[in-house]
Structure 1
């Protein structure tokens, strides 16, 4: 089974029930290195079979700050991730690091979907920006331009991560704001 690379479809954040969503951030340093890292990720993933049947989707977002990349991977369970970690992760990362040396991996948050405000039935707006932050806003249902917001709790129960889809990045702070760079699913 190969990886299907898509540059237009965001994952359905409400689909995460019953699985784990891992969110990680990388710093590349410059917009040029950010673009090069996205291309290296697409090459490393697209040239190999899908790495594990327990990986349901993998999405990479480019930060509006021109330096960061956010990664969202949806796993069936922890055992599937651990198997991939032991038997496939290092080869992909080595290829990416060879293409773009010095990427700084800033952390990984293992989460479970807690709740959220899902996209309304029939809402066909395309998300122009994703905002990933720690913590919860007081009233996520009333913000103009907000399409959906989902709250994930880290598996240790220590943090809440907000994953929100917005119509555009206009008026949003650069920190924590992303656009879709690559979405990969098994095919």
Structure 2
């Protein structure tokens, strides 16, 4: 089923891997067209092949219209890799034929390290703040992720906020719901926790829709 809400549940216990990828599409029109094409492809695959390991695919559009951010939940990396080895090339080829010129920097595999609960957004907007950080070492990334969780708990921002660390250990992604009319700032650790960590700017992304797998 395709629908605009709710946000994907990154805490579901059967989600053994969380996959994030960006497609650079450059305009809001191409952003929506790319999302629609991706939904169509995955809806067809989920319906005809019914891969039990596929849980959900959600697409978010950056507020500047340039980037399509996809979040996929699978039961495991192994199941996902086996599936895409057989089907991804044909799927991407069909999308590129309809919408040429998409840039794909690459997919990153994450594990959830923290979920920080906070006041629920009174009027959910389907918009999230996404913050990414890159560290010199896995130890620095883990320390920064832990400090980020402490900072979110101290400030009591909207929740739940999720802090993910990549399987290669040096990338961190923070996702938190955006309250109506609120800015995009998140509390960022400084001092010793920030040593060896490069933090990108926080970005707003609006949920465009999602496709669920056979498990719902």
Q: Identify whether the pair has TM-score above 0.5, normalized to the shorter chain.
A: yes
Q: Write out per-residue CA displacement over residues 11-50 of structure 1, whole angstroms, 9 at most, x where no aligned residue.
A: 1122267611011111101111112112212222233444
Select the structure of larger CA radius of gyration.
Answer: 2
Alpha-carbon shift at residue 171 of structure 1 (Å): 2.0
Which of 170, 182, 188 aligns to 1:158? It is 170
CA-CA distance at 1:124 after TM superposition: 6.6
**Range with bigger deviation, 140-149 or 61-70:** 140-149
Contact 1:17 1:113 in 2 (8 A): no
Tell me whether 1:185 sits opposite 2:190 in the alignment.
no
Structure 2 gaps, min length 5? 134-144, 186-200
1:19 to 16, 20, 27: 16
1:133 equivalent among 131, 151, 176: 131
Greater fraction strand: 1
Please report how far the alpha carbon of residue 176 of structure 1 lies from its aligned counterpart in structure 2 after TM superposition: 2.3
Alpha-carbon distance in structure 2 between the residues aligned to 1:17 and 1:163:
20
In 2: Cα distance, 1:134 partner to 1:126 partner: 23
RMSD of aligned residue pairs (Cα, Å)? 2.5
For this pair of structures, how many residues does the alignment match?
A: 183
Q: Give the TM-score, by structure 2 length.
A: 0.74
Q: Quote the offset at 1:127 in angstroms.
A: 4.3
Alignment of 1:1-187 (within 5 A): 4-15=1-12, 19-50=16-47, 52-118=51-117, 125-135=123-133, 136=145, 137=148, 139-141=151-153, 143=155, 146-168=158-180, 170-172=182-184, 176-187=203-214
Larger mean Cα displacement after TM superposition, 161-170 or 20-29: 161-170
Q: Which string of whole-angstrom CA distances, capped at 9 and with x for unpartnered residues, describes residues 109-134 of structure 1?
A: 101111121366x8775243112222
Q: Tell me the alpha carbon deviations over residues 85-130 of structure 1, each in whole angstroms, 9 at most, x when there is no partner.
A: 111122222222122111101221101111121366x877524311
Pair 1:16–1:72, CA change in 2 (3 A): farther
In the alignment, what sits opposite 2:194? none
Instruction: Work out whether residues 111 and 152 of structure 1, in 8 Å CA contact, stay in contact via their aligned partners in 2.
Output: yes
CA pair 106-8 structure 1, distance change in 2 beyond 3 A: same
Structure 2 CA distance for partners of 1:175 and 1:133, relative to 1, 3 Å: closer
Tell me the CA shift for residue 169 of structure 1.
Answer: 6.1
Structure having the higher helix fraction is 2
